Structures are given as C-alpha cells and as structure tokens.
Amino acid sequence: MNKGILYAAAAYIIWGLLPLYWKALQGVPALEILAHRIVWSLIFVSVILTVRHKWSFVKPALRDRRIVLTFVASGLLLSVNWFTYIWAVNDGHIVETSLGYFINPLVNVLLGYVVLKERMRPAQWAAIALAAAGVLYLTLSYGSFPWIALTLAFSFGTYGLLRKTAKLNSAEGLAMETAVLFLPAAGYLLLLQSQGAGSFAGGDLSTTLLLFFAGAATSIPLLFFAAGARLILLASLGLLQYIAPTLQFLIGVLVYDEPFGISRLIGFSIIWLALILYSAEGLAHYRRRLAPAEAQA
C-alpha cells in the first residue's frame, strides 16, 4: 500500500480517536486542557524542529509582517477550535463535533468561493444547499442552532484558508501558532498552580501524564498528515478525511451513548447525502482533468 495513504489514514484515525483522550481528562476544565495543549505542543514541536535542524525559518518569518499577522490570526482561530472541541467532547456533544468535521469540506469550498473567488461547479452548489438544508432541519427539529458544529467547521475552515496561503509547513506553522499563544497559556497554568487549583502534578499521575502528552497527541497526527499529503493525490486525501468524523460519530453513539434519535438521523442523512454528492463529483472532475494527460502519455 502507498505509504502516503498509510500516513494520512494514521493522521485521520488519531484525530478520530481523540475524543477518548479528552474524555479521560473530563475532570479537568476545558480552558486548562487547552492551555496544556498549547504549551506542550510548542515544546514537542520545538524538539522535532531541533532534531531536524529546521529553525532557519524563524528570522525570515519574523521579518515578514504578513507572515506574523497570518499566524497570530491562525493561532487565535486554532485556540477557538481546540477549546470548542475539548469543551464539547467533555460536555457530551461528541456527535455534534463529528457533524462539524463532516461539513468542514463543504465550508472549505464555500470559503474558497467567497474569499478566493474560486469558481464553484453546479454539483458543489447542490451539495452546499443540501448540507444547509440538513443544518436547518436539525435546528428546527431540535429547536436549537447547532452552534458547536458550525463553530468547529467555520473556525477550522478559516484556519485552513489562512494556512493555504502561508509559507510555512505544518511543523513550522504549529510552532509559530503555539508560540503566539504560549505566554498567556503558560501564565494561566502558573497562576492555577500557584493557587493550588492546577490539575498538573496534583496527585493523579494519569491526569498529569495525559496533560503532558497532549502536545504529542496534537503534533503527531499533524506530522503524519503533512507526510501523507505530499505523497498522495488530493482526491485520495479528500476521501480519507471522512475517517475522523466517522470515528468521532461512532464513539459518541456507541461508546458514550449520546442520543441519536430519528430527527438527528434524518438531519445527518441529508448532510451525508451532500457529502456523497460532493465526493462523487470531485472524483469525476479529477478524472476528467487527468484524462487528457493520460491520453497523451
């Protein structure tokens, strides 16, 4: 099997299993988990960059105002996404987090149209309209707006849009983003520890270890993803991306017994239909583009 597929699949499987990791920290406030995730991610990725001798990007990046502002913005978006996800998982909303990542590809297409003025094909419009209908149905049937799903989808979609135009790779970018957030996160953790309210090294070894390895849990799938994305076709990557929300959905329903009645089934089914349409059209479009090159070969 193509190594790129294995790397990318490993990344999405880890992302899909992360609800189990954050659930194990359910007794720790979401903001504290977020702060640990930021601090230990920076430390972990710094070790990786040091081992690889990859720090040469820092000086040119800091001299470029656009790069600095891009990563300040992407760091803030990432913190919103991480906090929402951690809080939602530990408050019993894993199924809704999976919805956010199911509709994320469609949000990416919509943002590309609105911000980058990319041309949308009719089937993509139809997929977005179907997904919007699914969200509307869920809102009306439950009487509440699925804000968790949409916050995750749009924060990560906008984050991806910023990173698409950034000049740094995933490890370098993560180092810049977490560096932006490091001082407030570390300050918050030191304040908690000084008040005796911190969860780190507070007597529960498993909690301490889980908080310590939050950086590895964050960085490793990103590194796998970066390695895989370089080796496989974009179309393959597009199909593999559904592994993560599918695993999240199954964990929410089968492991933590979150409610999934007929109303949710109908709403999700509409959105899944939109994704099938989007993926099928994307594959067909990709094959049409390849056909002339294959014919010439």
- State the pLDDT at residue 198: 86
Average pLDDT over residues 176-200: 92
In this prediction the pTM is 0.90
> Are 166 and 66 in contact, with CB atoms under 8 Å apart?
no
Residues 242-267 as b or e (16 or more Cβ within 10 Å = b): bbbbbbbbebbbeeeebeeeeebeeb
Predicted confidence at residue 118, as pLDDT, reads 84
Is 271 inside a domain boundary? no
State residue 183's pLDDT score: 95
pLDDT band at 235 (very low <50, low <70, confident <90, very high): low
pLDDT one-digit tens code per residue, 61-103: 999 999 899 999 999 999 999 999 999 999 999 999 999 999 9
Instruction: Give the CA diameter of the chain.
Output: 70
Contact 286, 235 (CB under 8 A): yes
The answer to whether 256 and 92 are in contact (CB under 8 A) is: yes
- Distance CA(214)–CA(52), nearest Å, equals 21
- Within a domain: residue 139? no
Decide if 135 is inside a domain.
no
- Domain residues for the domain of 61 are 3-128+147-261
Q: Is residue 177 within 8 Å of residue 75, measured between CB atoms?
A: yes
* Identity of the amino acid at 289: R
Residues 6+ apart with CB under 8 A from 99: 138, 146, 149, 245, 268, 271
Q: Give me the number of domains the chain comprises.
A: 1
CA distance 45 to 172: 8
With respect to residue 283, please indicate whether it lies within any of the assigned structural domains. no
Domain assignment of residue 297, yes or no: no
pLDDT classification of 291: cutoffs 50, 70, 90: low
Q: Quick one: tokens of 111?
A: 């943002």
Give a yes or no: residue 274 inside a domain. no
Here the tokens at position 265 are 């089934």
| Cα dist from 268 to 10, 106, 116, 239, 247, whole Å | 25, 14, 29, 18, 15
Residue 175 pLDDT class (50, 70, 90 cuts): very high
For the chain, percent of residues with pLDDT exceeding 90: 60
Residue 141 in domain:
no
How far is CA 116 from its chain centroid? 21
In a domain, 280, yes or no: no
Task: Write down the pLDDT at residue 247.
Answer: 95
